[in-house]
Structure 1
Amino acid sequence: MNSLFSKYYDTLMGPLERKYFARIRVDLLKEARGNVLEIGSGTGLNFGYYTHAEKVTALEPNPKMTRKASQRATHATVPIEVIFGNAETLPFEDNTFDTIVGTLVLCTIPDPEKALSEIRRVCKNDGIVLFFEHIRLNNRYLGKLQDFLTPVWRHLCDGCHLNRNSSDLIKQIGFKVVGETRYFRNICVTVIAINKK
C-alpha cells in the first residue's frame, strides 16, 4: 500500500469530490437499502450519503484508510461498522446483504473477477449492487494513453488501473444491469444492477 497516497487521499480528491463526485455519490447511494456492504470504503467518503440504509458494513484493505474511515463513521446518521479485509475473500455468509456498494474501487482490486463473484455470493437474490467507477475509454488514442500510463499510475495511486473496464466486468460476472449513467465524456460510470441467482 502506498502510504503517501493513503495520507493525502482526501486532500488530493477534495476538489473533485466537491465539484463533481459528491453529487454522483448522493444520487447513487440513495438507492442503498437495508443491510449494506460497502467494499473498499477508503476513508469513508460515502458515509454521509447513506439515507435509507439500516446498517452499513464497510470493508477496507488499507489499515491507514480504515482508521480514517472509523473516525468518519462516528459522525454518520446510520450505524456503520468499519472492518479490515479484502473483497476477494469476503468474511460473510451467503445471501447476507440487501445492497452492496463500490465507489472507485474495482480499479484497485488485484482480482476484480473474484471480488465480483464474492459480491454475488454474499448479496441476496434480487439484492441491489451499486457501483461508481472510472473506466477505459473506447477512443483509440485516449484508451491507449490510459494503457501507457497505468503502470506508473498503479504505483503512485495504490494499485489503481486507469484502463480497467469495470462496467463490462460487472455484466460478465452475471449481474442484471438496470441502470447505467456515464459522466465526464464516458470516463466515469455509475451502474445499478440486480443480483439474479
Structure 2
Amino acid sequence: MGKWFPKLYDLVMNPLEKYKFKKIRRQLLSKAEGRVLEIGSGTGVNFPFYQHADQVDAIEPNPLMSKRSGKKVKKSKANIQTYIVGAESLPFADNTFDTVVATLVFCTIPEPQQALKEILRVSKPGANILFFEHVMLKQPFLAKAQDILTPFWKKICDGCHLNRDTLGLIKMFDFTIEDVHEYYKGLFLTITCLNNK
C-alpha cells in the first residue's frame, strides 16, 4: 500500500463526495442502527452519517487511511472504535452486530468471498447489511473496458478492481436482498440486505 494514496484520497474524492455521494451515504446509513460494523472505513467519510448507531466498530487494513479518520471520529455523534484489520478475519464474536456497512470497499478486498462469510458470521440473524459499491457494468463493451483497465487501476488505486461483480458475489451467500438501487447507469449500486442465516 503506497503512502501517497491515503494522502490524496480525500482530496481526489471530495468533489464526488460533496455533490454526488453525500446524499447516497446519508440515505443508506440512516438504516444503520444498534451496534454497527463498518468494513473498510478508510478516512472516516461515513462517520458523520451515523445518527442511529449505539456503537460503530470500524475496521480498516491500511493504517495510514485509518490515521486520517481520527478527526472524524472525534466529531461524530456515534461512539466509534477503529481497528487496523482486514475484512477476511474479523476479531469479533459470532452474532455481534445489528448492522454491517460496506461503502466503496469491496472493490479492494483481496478475498471478497471470505469477507462476506465473515460478515454473515459476526452479524445477527436478520441484521441489516448495507452496501454502496461500484461494480462491473452490464454493457458488454464497457465491462470489457473495465477488464482491460483493472490491472493498471489496481496499481494506482490501492488494489481497486474496476470489474468486480459485488452483487453477484452477494447473491452467492445467505443474504436476503431487499433493495438494489442503481446510480450513474449502473456503475454504482446501493444494496440493502438482511442476514438470512
| TM tier, smaller | over 0.9
Gap regions ≥5 residues in structure 2: none
Aligned to 1:22: 22
Distance, in Å, in 2 between the alignment partners of 1:190 and 1:114 is 21
For the residue of structure 1 that corresponds to 2:69, the secondary structure is: helix
Unaligned ranges ≥5, structure 1? none
Q: Separation in 2 of the partners of 1:189 and 1:47?
A: 20
Alpha-carbon distance in 1 for matches of 2:41, 2:30: 17
Measure the CA separation in 1 of the matches of 2:2 and 2:167: 26
Aligned residue type for 1:188: F
Between 157-166 and 172-181, report the one with greater CA deviation.
172-181
Tell me the distance in 2 between the aligned counterparts of 1:58 and 1:71. Answer: 14
* 1:46-99 deviation line (CA, Å, top 9, x unaligned): 000011111101000000011111221000011111111000000000000000
Matches of 2:106 and 2:140 in 1, distance apart? 23
* Residue equivalent to 1:148: 148
- 1-side partners of 2:147 and 2:44: how far apart? 29
Q: Map residues 118-197 of structure 1 onto 2, 5 A cutoff.
A: 118-197=118-197
Taking every aligned residue pair, what percent have the same amino acid on both sides?
48
Equivalent residue letter for 1:17: E
Question: Equivalent residue for 2:90?
Answer: 90
Q: What is the distance in 2 between the residues matched to 1:152 and 1:60?
A: 23
Give the C-alpha shift of residue 140 in structure 1.
Answer: 1.2
User: Which letter does structure 2 place at the counterpart of 1:90?
Assistant: L
Q: Tell me the residue number matched to 2:59.
A: 59
Contact 1:2 1:157 (C-alpha < 8 Å) held by counterparts: no
Q: TM-score, normalised by structure 1?
A: 0.99
Structure 1 counterpart of 2:106, which letter?
Answer: L
Q: Which residue of 2 aligns with 1:78?
A: 78
Determine the structure 1 residue equivalent to 2:105: 105
Question: Which amino acid is 2:183 matched to?
Answer: Y
For 2:99, the aligned partner's letter is T
Equivalents in 1 of 2:190, 2:6: separation in Å? 24
> Pairwise CA RMSD of aligned residues?
0.6
1:39/1:105 contact within 8 Å kept: yes
1:33 corresponds to 2:33: yes
Structure 1 stretches of 4+ moved >4 Å: none
With structure 2 as the length reference, what TM-score do the two structures score? 0.99
User: What's the CA shift string for 1:163-188, capped at 9, x where partnerless?
Assistant: 00101111212210001100000000
Aligned-pair distance for 1:137? Answer: 0.6
